[in-house]
Amino acid sequence: MTSRSALGARLSVLYAVQFAYLGIHAPFFPMWLSSRGLPADTVGLVLALPIVIRATSAYAVAGLADRRIGALKLLGLLGATSAAVWMILLRFDQLPVIVAVTALTAVLTAALVPLTDTVTLDAAGGHDRMYGRVRIWGSVGFLAAMLAGGQAIVMLGAGAVPAMLAGLSATAALYAFLSPSLAAASEQRRRRAAETAVEPLPRRFLWAAGGIACIHASHSVINAFAPILWTKAGFDALTVGIFLGVGVVAEIALLMRFGRTGFGAPVFGILTLGAAAGVLRWALMATGPGALATSALQVLHALSFGATLIGSIAAVSNLVPEGERARAQGLIAATTAGISAAGTATSGQFVEALGFGTFALMVPLALLALVMIRIAAATTGDQPQSAGEGGKTTLSS
């Protein structure tokens, strides 16, 4: 195995173990809350808490990895602490304790994805195609954990969820601590950054980050309400699962292609494609399409989400000074969480009345993203210029 292949393998495992945690938390923590006898409105409030916390803490937590501590070491410390906090619920499950644990773990995991992406950027050293190859394994880890977790709950009951979350957090922490070759790149970047003053994030990136957050947040309706709407439209559980699976497969296919050949488009071209796909996708979903049309529209997930994901990494890599990359990743994550929370809460008020028409509420958000990305493309004068500062790739529109 070549050194580049070995690096790719190590980063792939990192994504798999980090995203496995999300594969348990997203589908099964709500189930655990319900199993504690909490009423539905209380469950909803508890689940809303991490969204608010991510919006307010991801930026600060991720920013620690620029000058104070290496990104991988920080992931290890956050994972180990998260494991200890989740263990509390194995003994105490009163509502105040649940709220406290939920809040603490939300802070500890708020920057999980941006920090993992930062480790990849640090370790890849400008080999941008590697991102597509290794990010796939995050999706695989998520799906594998979700399937295995479902089987574990069938055998052990929902009460096992905190133990699974603690175990996966500990596993991710252990892997981070036992990966010195990955940690070295992040530590080297941190040391270089520590020798320089904190720089403001470039205006060009801030416009791009706003657009990226709006594209991701425009998925609020499909993430929160699509299964409900599809079920009410008469599609059975298998068909709903197929709809969701088509989107995931399309996303993975795009990441695989990018990993092999590169996307073949400049940063703002990729992001423009993602925003335009969002406009088309939500406008057509609002018509309440049939099964075949819905499956076809789900293929657009590869662009509205997958291309935006790739464009986001490219924007951080090429628009942001090296010493500010973790903070930049955290800004995107925090802004996305904030807009998504507002989008989910707002659209939830219209689902009963509008049905599939609720998707139309996401069209203006995707259009706003398109405008912000084009403004970013037209903004000049403050982007990094040297390869060491992140200015490697053509940024034309």
pLDDT score at 260: 62
Do residues 46 and 188 both lie within one domain? yes
Tens-place pLDDT, residues 66-116: 878 888 999 999 999 999 999 999 999 999 999 999 999 999 999 999 999
- Name the band, by pLDDT with cuts 50, 70 and 90, for residue 192: confident
Do residues 110 and 58 both lie within one domain? yes
Do residues 209 and 303 both lie within one domain? yes
Tell me the C-alpha distance between 235 and 227, whole Å: 9
Predicted confidence (pLDDT) at residue 259 exceeds the cutoff of 70? no
Closest CA relative to residue 393, chosen from 266, 260, 255, 273: 266
- For the CA atoms of the chain, what is the radius of gyration? 20
Tens-place pLDDT, residues 170-182: 999 999 999 888 8
Predicted confidence (pLDDT) at residue 42 exceeds the cutoff of 90? no
Do residues 226 and 299 both lie within one domain? yes
**In-domain check, residue 395:** no
Predicted confidence (pLDDT) at residue 334 exceeds the cutoff of 60? yes
pLDDT score at 267: 87
**In-domain check, residue 218:** yes
**In-domain check, residue 88:** yes
Listed in sequence order, the DSSP H helices in the chain are 3-35, 40-67, 71-87, 95-109, 112-124, 129-156, 161-177, 180-194, 203-217, 220-224, 226-232, 237-261, 267-285, 291-298, 301, 308-319, 325-348, 351-354, 363-378
Instruction: Give the residue-averaged pLDDT of 243-264.
Output: 78
Predicted confidence (pLDDT) at residue 130 exceeds the cutoff of 70? yes
Instruction: Give the residue-averaged pLDDT of 240-261.
Output: 82
As to burial, measured by CB atoms within 10 angstroms (0-12 exposed, 13-18 middle, 19+ buried), residue 371 is middle
Do residues 142 and 224 both lie within one domain? no
Do residues 111 and 172 both lie within one domain? yes
Do residues 332 and 217 both lie within one domain? yes
* Under 8 Å between Cβ of 145 and 23: yes
Predicted confidence (pLDDT) at residue 306 exceeds the cutoff of 50? yes
Do residues 209 and 185 both lie within one domain? no
Domain boundary among 143, 159, 194: 194
pLDDT score at 127: 59
pLDDT score at 197: 76
Predicted confidence (pLDDT) at residue 396 exceeds the cutoff of 50? no
pLDDT score at 385: 44
Do residues 78 and 119 both lie within one domain? yes
Q: What is the mean pLDDT of the chain?
A: 87
Instruction: Give the residue-averaged pLDDT of 111-131.
Output: 81
Do residues 290 and 383 both lie within one domain? yes
Pick the most confident of 103-112, 149-158, 262-271, 388-397.
103-112
Do residues 118 and 207 both lie within one domain? no
Q: Which residue has the tokens 């950027």?
A: 121
Domain boundary among 168, 194, 220: 194
Question: Could you give the C-alpha distances from 343 to 214, 221, 226, in angstroms and in order?
Answer: 10, 8, 14
Whether pTM > 0.85 for this model: the answer is no
Instruction: Give the residue-averaged pLDDT of 20-34.
Output: 88
pLDDT score at 387: 39
Tens-place pLDDT, residues 134-166: 988 998 898 888 888 888 988 998 899 999 999
Tell me the C-alpha distance between 323 and 335, whole Å: 20
Closest CA relative to residue 112, chosen from 77, 164, 69, 87: 77
Domain enclosing residue 215, as ranges? 203-389
Domain boundary among 194, 219, 237: 194
As for how many domains the chain has, the answer is: 2
**In-domain check, residue 292:** yes
Give the rounded percent of residues in the chain with a pLDDT score beyond 70: 92
**In-domain check, residue 396:** no
Do residues 145 and 26 both lie within one domain? yes
pLDDT score at 392: 43
**In-domain check, residue 354:** yes
Predicted confidence (pLDDT) at residue 395 exceeds the cutoff of 70? no
Instruction: Give the residue-averaged pLDDT of 382-390.
Output: 46
Q: What CATH number is given to the structural domain containing 146?
A: 1.20.1250.20
- Name the band, by pLDDT with cuts 50, 70 and 90, for residue 363: very high
- Name the band, by pLDDT with cuts 50, 70 and 90, for residue 203: very high
**In-domain check, residue 397:** no
Tell me the C-alpha distance between 242 and 246, whole Å: 6
pLDDT score at 266: 82
